[in-house]
Amino acid sequence: MEEVCDIGNIKFSAVSAGIKGEGLDLGLALFEIPFSFIGLYTRNRIKASHIHYAKKLEGRKIRALFVTSGCANAATGKEGIEDLKRLARMISERTSLKEDEILFASTGVIGKRLPIEKIADSIPFLVDNADPSKLEDFAYAMMTTDTYPKVLKRTFSGKKTYSILGVAKGAGMINPKLATMLCFLFTDYPGKREVLVNPFRAYCRESFEKITVDSETSTNDTVMLFFPEGEIDEKAYSIFTETLKDLMRELALLIVRDGEGATKVIHIKVNGAKTKMAAQEIARRIARSTLVKCAFFGNDPNWGRIIAAVGDTDITIRPERISIKIEGMEVAKGGVETPFDEDELKRKLTSKEVEVEIDLGLGKASYEIYTTDLTYDYVKINASYRS
């Protein structure tokens, strides 16, 4: 069933321009009225051209978002930004939009410039065929190694009924710091940039920054929130923020569940730390351990790999206070193994979602992160990514 955008004033379109070789690879979102936006981007010091371009448009009103997949337009120097300026002129000539009302986002192979001529030939179709019913096509056009489009919708009420749409892509090169590969959130709830920017940053930390597939931070990570500037509906503000926070978390989980080659999602929670920062560092170290991830792929309750990762940080710990549970079953206490039914635990580890809990016994702070197992298919996908 085709997804329909139920937010007035936004239309979508998509087309195959031959950037990826096959499938939809260009997407366009058209706003019939000006929308404000808040953007959060990768902390990787090498940033895609669209990020440099978007930062110069912060605080402006936007009428279009143009997305390309198959080519990251990263590590392309000044030419990569000039290519976006050329595209903005082309889109402006085909529409009534000003060049500085158009945003861009890209994902795909790093180091290649956008195929401008292929894209230029597709602009008329994208503009002329934009429609609220093309939301799912837009989501497909963002995909690279994803196995399914990631689209979520929520509605809530205040003075009127409002909606939030979330569209994301990502399956590999996922270790978001402030963002994910690409995620766009659209709402008809009126807001003010200065009011929403801090909550939005906080929600990113509690969603996209808590997932990792392969500990690789992309050059293109981007999360954007689009909303009409206006007087905030105070009656619905708390409902809006909770709905937005929940939707962002669900989108983040969709990404990690679609991790390249993954067979399961691993929920890692570190409790009993002195500070949240300490809990976060240890949780991230466990989540990025290839040995831990391989053990879970093999349904092997090898808790020794987990405790080894706990100790491989600069955080001060007390080994004799550490306890570990896997799928609710205690496997270690006081830093040593406790008796457990290994066959039963191996059966539990065949689940699509696996929970791991580590208690450091040092304080009350905690941190949770989501990762995947590491499989043969992950290697196959990334060994031939450019082929």
The catalytic residues are: 180
Yes or no: say if 363 and 277 are a contact pair by the CB < 8 Å rule. Answer: no
Which residue is it, tokens 């590491």? 374
Residue 161 main-chain phi, psi, to 5 deg: -90, 130
Distances in whole angstroms, Cα of residue 206 to Cα of each of 157, 306, 367, 377: 24, 23, 10, 29
Yes or no: say if 329 and 345 are a contact pair by the CB < 8 Å rule. Answer: yes
Q: Which of the 8 DSSP states describes residue 291?
A: H
154: left (phi over 0), alpha (psi -120 to 50) or beta: beta
- Per-position b or e across 165-183, b if 16+ CB within 10 A of its CB: bbbbbbbbbbbbbbbbbbb
Distance CA 273, CA 251 (A): 28
DSSP string, 258-277: T-TT-S-EEEEEEEEESSHH
Q: Show Cβ contacts of residue 253 under 8 Å, excluding neighbours closer than 6 positions.
A: 211, 265, 370
Residue 295 main-chain phi, psi, to 5 deg: -60, -40
Yes or no: say if 79 and 53 are a contact pair by the CB < 8 Å rule. Answer: no
Task: Determine the distance from the C-alpha atom of residue 6 to the mean position of all C-alpha atoms in its chain, rounded to a whole number.
Answer: 23
**Dihedral of the alpha carbons of 129, 130, 132, 133, in degrees to the nearest 10:** 40
Distance CA 218, CA 212 (A): 11
Largest CA distance in the chain: 71
Residue 306 main-chain phi, psi, to 5 deg: -70, -50
Yes or no: say if 63 and 97 are a contact pair by the CB < 8 Å rule. Answer: yes
